């Protein structure tokens, strides 16, 4: 009898189990008050925001992300950025975070825009730190979404045809931040990041175009932009014109340009950085 039952059980069709979703980010929570979510950039740690957390933790409950594949966090399969966006929306709902302020740097700024475009009722105010809704448009202001998508394949081909190059990476990061200590900190995060995750993120961001999607955003948005680290490819006038062009469909946007900081504004000029955010959030310390 037992053997008969066992045979029947074995003969039953297997019930498909939904795939286990891998976490797209890790979170560290500090402080108290209304929620603030902070998203770092490509190959960066949540430690990017240490000084920001120190400033705001007495007024906000800071939820600091480190994305999968970066700074020692295990990678997830592509598409990476869509998973981060959608899991972050789930996180906001599950944690019952009411209209969180979301601050994103670089890739983190792009993810912030993607989240607010797809889930416009979830976020409160947005702070976008040196990021655009189309990375491709930074280099080709008139590029179409179709052209950007096609070129993203070339980006993957180029990045995967050669291994991560320490010397080239150092030159790229050196242009993004001024002080030696900050530079070495960022390099340490990069060395601890999974190169395939970096490739996935760059390809996905380059091939995505949110210039039309951001019209759905109804959160007040502060955009902090830089240009001195991108010389000689641009100047202040070109940077401001292009930034306003790519954000043209975002209704409630306040664009401010710094003349003193490279890409990591929170490191290069914290006084200017915090002054803009304090004013935007409606409180000063």
pLDDT reading at 67 higher than 90: yes
Give pTM, 2 decimals. 0.90
Q: Among residues 102, 111, 56, 63, which one has the least CA distance to residue 220?
A: 102
Average pLDDT of the segment spanning 211-235: 95
**SS3 at position 212:** coil
| Mean per-residue pLDDT of the chain | 90
Cα 243 to Cα 240: distance, rounded to the nearest angstrom: 5
Q: What is the dotted CATH code of the domain comprising 22-281?
A: 3.40.50.1820
β-sheet with 61-67: strand ranges across: 25-31, 61-67, 35-39, 101-105, 126-129, 221-225, 253-257
Cα 103 to Cα 40: distance, rounded to the nearest angstrom: 9
pLDDT tens digits for range 85-124: 999 999 999 999 999 999 999 999 999 999 999 999 999 9
Cα 278 to Cα 198: distance, rounded to the nearest angstrom: 32
pLDDT reading at 21 higher than 80: no
Is residue 164 very low, low, confident or very high in pLDDT (cuts 50, 70, 90)?
A: low
Is residue 259 very low, low, confident or very high in pLDDT (cuts 50, 70, 90)?
A: very high
CA quadruple 254, 67, 33, 116: dihedral positive or negative?
positive
Find the helix or strand (DSSP H, E) in which 101 lies.
strand 101-105
Cα 193 to Cα 190: distance, rounded to the nearest angstrom: 5
As to burial, measured by CB atoms within 10 angstroms (0-12 exposed, 13-18 middle, 19+ buried), residue 284 is exposed
Helices 195-207 and 107-118: crossing angle in degrees, nearest 10, is 50
Average pLDDT of the segment spanning 186-202: 95
* Torsion angle in degrees (nearest 10) through CA of 145, 146, 150, 151: -40
As to burial, measured by CB atoms within 10 angstroms (0-12 exposed, 13-18 middle, 19+ buried), residue 259 is exposed
């Amino acid at each position: 009898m037992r053997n008969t039952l066992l045979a029947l059980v074995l003969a039953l069709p297997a019930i498909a189990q939904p795939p286990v979703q891998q976490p797209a980010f890790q979170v560290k929570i500090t402080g108290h008050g209304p929620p603030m979510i902070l998203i770092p950039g490509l190959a960066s740690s949540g430690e990017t925001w240490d000084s920001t957390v120190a400033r705001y933790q007495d007024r906000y409950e800071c939820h600091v992300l480190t994305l999968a594949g970066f700074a020692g966090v295990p990678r997830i399969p592509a598409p990476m950025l869509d998973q981060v966006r959608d899991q972050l929306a789930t996180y906001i709902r599950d944690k019952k975070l009411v209209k969180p302020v979301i601050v994103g740097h670089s890739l983190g700024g792009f993810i912030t825009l993607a989240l607010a475009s797809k889930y416009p009722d979830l976020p409160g105010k947005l702070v976008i730190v040196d990021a655009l809704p189309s990375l491709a448009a930074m280099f080709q202001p008139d590029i179409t979404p179709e052209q950007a998508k096609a070129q993203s394949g070339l980006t993957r081909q180029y990045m995967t045809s050669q291994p991560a190059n320490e010397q080239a990476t150092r030159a790229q990061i050196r242009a993004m931040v001024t002080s030696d200590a900050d530079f070495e900190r960022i390099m340490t995060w990069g060395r601890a990041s999974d190169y395939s995750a970096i490739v996935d993120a760059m390809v996905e961001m380059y091939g995505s175009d949110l210039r039309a999607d951001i019209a759905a955003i109804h959160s007040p948005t502060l955009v902090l932009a830089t240009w001195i680290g991108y010389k000689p490819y641009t100047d202040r006038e070109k940077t401001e014109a292009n930034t306003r062009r790519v954000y043209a469909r975002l209704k409630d946007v306040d664009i401010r340009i710094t003349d003193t900081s490279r890409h990591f504004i929170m490191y290069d000029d914290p006084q200017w950085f915090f002054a803009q955010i304090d004013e935007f959030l409606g409180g000063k310390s």
